[in-house]
Structure 1
Amino acid sequence: MRHLRTLLAITVAMTFLLGVTVALRPVEAPPLVAPRCDESVLTTASGTVTSSSCDGELASRVSGLLDSSVDGVADVLDISWVKRVDVVVPASDSELVSLVGPAFADMAGVAIRDGSGQRVVLNRVRAAALSDLELKVLLRHEITHVATRDLTSDSAPLWLVEGFADWVAFHGLGLSLRQAAPLLTPEVSALPVDFGGAGRDLAYQQAYSIMVYLESGLGERGVVDFFLRYASSSAVDSGVVDVAGWRDFLRKSIG
């Protein structure tokens, strides 16, 4: 009997220890299966949106804004162009870099021209984080580049090219200069030139404010004519933009 009790006690102890050991052993999770992402193309009256099916929400937002964005740009420019835009949302960072190059991969959107024609390429992460208003501004900015590409020299001043694209993008949206360009200060002494460094955002906003300043004296059509006059050149004539007048305009507009 004593031998039987001893054997029973050992059995119970081993069962307990085995249970503890099993409980402490990490449970292996089932292997993660990456979702299947196929190419998806949404077609609108003014173009297409090509994306991965896994980016369907962003693609749907873009397609919903595309027609009105093309129309908005066309109304401001009043020039002859195809009035059709193809938008691409790359499915991966590597695909994005292959289309726009590493220097522009961190930007929310880039207008490109390659063997497939002109397209607007969106950074899926950055674009998805934008509000509908911000996404509309982005689309209109890049569509302006598409619409004016044949009229623009590769060596045209960036403040002219980017400032004009922003001016068209914000046109008619009801935003004040301070709302559209919150980084601006009136302390300017020269036209912006650094569109690739740490001061990129400020340079874009300064360039936009130059167009708003020109509009105050030339009117809307005057700004378009100004751009068309100089976009095919490598420089704008010295003194055409009165920097002192621009500075005074900023002081009055944003304090």
Structure 2
Amino acid sequence: MIPVRRRTVVRLLALALCPPAAAGCADPAPGGSADGAVRRAVADWSVAPPVRLAGIPLEGWSYEVTSVRRDGVRALARAELRYRLAGYDSAPAGSAREVELARDGAGWRVTADRPAPGAVAQLWDQGEVAVVRGARSLVLGVGRDPRALSALAAEADRAVPAVSAAWPGPWAGRVVVLAPGTLEAMAALLGRPADTYRGLGAVTTGATGGGPAPADRVVVNPEGYQELSEAGRRIVLTHEVTHVATRAATSAGTPQWLSEGFADWAAYRGTPTTPAEGAPELARAVRRGEVPGALPADEAFAFGGDPQAVARAYGGAWLACRLIAGRWGEPALARLYELAAREPLPAALDEALGTNLPDLTHAWQQALREELR
């Protein structure tokens, strides 16, 4: 279970980065300078997170001021917000912020706190955050029905053991889910246009590779997710949680067909879904005689691409991993995933499966002809 109470640690590192001669800047030395007064005002204000964050299990909350710009009775402080979700983040999550202040008598008072220009929003920028703690999940939502958040936590709780059964590698065995109120709000959290995610159920954010890092966030699209059946929601959540579980074993060198295919394989594993049911767009293409000439390229999975082409890429990736698990065994598929993150794919295929890319591609094409006809 996640601890429900943790002491919030607040600190301010006053780093004077603005040279004295720069326009709009004053002597950045601490003490009696105006910049020092602005920094102290930010420090005093940031002693506690906003009230709307009260239910979130936060620790290590801090604003590190990096620059101050003053204009008469108004000041702007650039700062880096650092925080952890207790029980989830092994390293601080970061957010570039812009803190606005107004002169208040002899001092300064914070009047606004927002994402810095070019920085993505945090969930709490969108309103009061509701918190639901599942047995294996933490769901944070804004503008959502509490019953929907509870259902989402239950679905995430079911996905976690399903992923652990498919992925033998070590992972935390728990997941953070963000549930914004609209598609546009989701896009604001991810820093991309809303159309990028239209029709998607959810996406996962996080840094690839091992080592301490903020926990991945599964971000749910309220519009796309709502349109899914119960089985569809289960598939989507399990797929995304698989990305969370495999993140430490994923690198920039991991082929997208292996990363996305493994996540779909874990999601469909143990279900009665047939290849034609799980990959209908690819099935239609194969029936037209359009068997892919190669495993899907990385760019085929890009957000915002042709929906039918993207669907064919995902279907092909799933069936490639399904073939590997069926012919060489599930442990061999997991071994291939781990090896492909740190060595060229041909070497990983040889070591994990004892085969090469042309032979794997040929076997995959033959499986498509047999299973999707």
**TM-score when normalising by structure 1:** 0.78
Secondary structure in 2 matching 1:117:
coil
CA distance in 2, matches of 1:87, 1:189: 37
Which of residues 166, 170, 182 in structure 2 aligns to 1:80? 170
Q: What does residue 215 of structure 1 align with? A: 325
Letter in 1 for 2:334: V
State the 1:116 CA deviation. 5.1
CA distance in 2, matches of 1:70, 1:78: 13
CA distance in 2, matches of 1:121, 1:169: 17
Contact 1:85 1:119 (C-alpha < 8 Å) held by counterparts: yes
Contact 2:140 2:178 (C-alpha < 8 Å) held by counterparts: yes
Q: In structure 2, list runs of 5 or more residues that go unmatched.
A: 1-126, 208-212, 350-355
| Residue 183 to residue 223, structure 1, CA distance change in 2 (3 Å) | same
CA distance in 2, matches of 1:129, 1:236: 40
Q: What does residue 174 of structure 1 align with? A: 272
| Residue 250 to residue 50, structure 1, CA distance change in 2 (3 Å) | same
1:166-188 Cα deviation digits (max 9, x unpaired) = 11111111211111111224412
Q: Does 1:52 align with 2:145?
A: no
Q: What does residue 105 of structure 1 align with? A: 197
Which of residues 258, 262, 282 in structure 2 aligns to 1:160? 258
Q: What does residue 341 of structure 2 align with? A: 231
Q: What does residue 191 of structure 1 align with? A: 295
Q: In structure 1, list runs of 5 or more residues that go unmatched.
A: 1-36
Q: What does residue 244 of structure 1 align with? A: 362
State the 1:41 CA deviation. 1.1
State the 1:53 CA deviation. 4.6
Letter in 2 for 1:191: L
Q: What does residue 13 of structure 1 align with? A: none
Q: Does 1:127 align with 2:236?
A: no
1:47-82 Cα deviation digits (max 9, x unpaired) = 111112534343232112111110100111122111
Secondary structure in 1 matching 2:272:
coil
Secondary structure in 2 matching 1:102:
coil
CA distance in 1, matches of 2:218, 2:323: 28
Segment of structure 1 superposing worse, 168-177 or 103-112: 103-112
Q: Between Structure 1 and Structure 2, which shows a larger proportion of strand residues?
A: 2
Secondary structure in 2 matching 1:223:
helix
Q: Looking at CA atoms only, which structure, 1 or 2, has the larger radius of gyration?
A: 1
| Residue 169 to residue 229, structure 1, CA distance change in 2 (3 Å) | same
Contact 1:58 1:128 (C-alpha < 8 Å) held by counterparts: no
Q: What does residue 371 of structure 2 align with? A: 253
| Residue 45 to residue 236, structure 1, CA distance change in 2 (3 Å) | farther
CA distance in 1, matches of 2:342, 2:224: 31
Letter in 1 for 2:315: Q
Letter in 2 for 1:222: A
Secondary structure in 2 matching 1:88:
strand
Contact 1:100 1:110 (C-alpha < 8 Å) held by counterparts: no
Q: Does 1:139 align with 2:199?
A: no
State the 1:234 CA deviation. 6.1
Contact 1:153 1:234 (C-alpha < 8 Å) held by counterparts: no
CA distance in 1, matches of 2:214, 2:336: 31
Segment of structure 1 superposing worse, 108-117 or 136-145: 108-117
Contact 1:140 1:168 (C-alpha < 8 Å) held by counterparts: yes
Q: Between Structure 1 and Structure 2, which shows a larger proportion of helix residues?
A: 1
Segment of structure 1 superposing worse, 231-240 or 245-254: 231-240
CA distance in 2, matches of 1:171, 1:162: 14
Secondary structure in 2 matching 1:42:
strand
CA distance in 1, matches of 2:342, 2:262: 14
Identity of aligned residues (%): 28
State the 1:38 CA deviation. 4.1
Count of paired positions: 219
Q: Which one has more relative contact order, counting CA pairs under 8 Å at least 6 apart?
A: 1
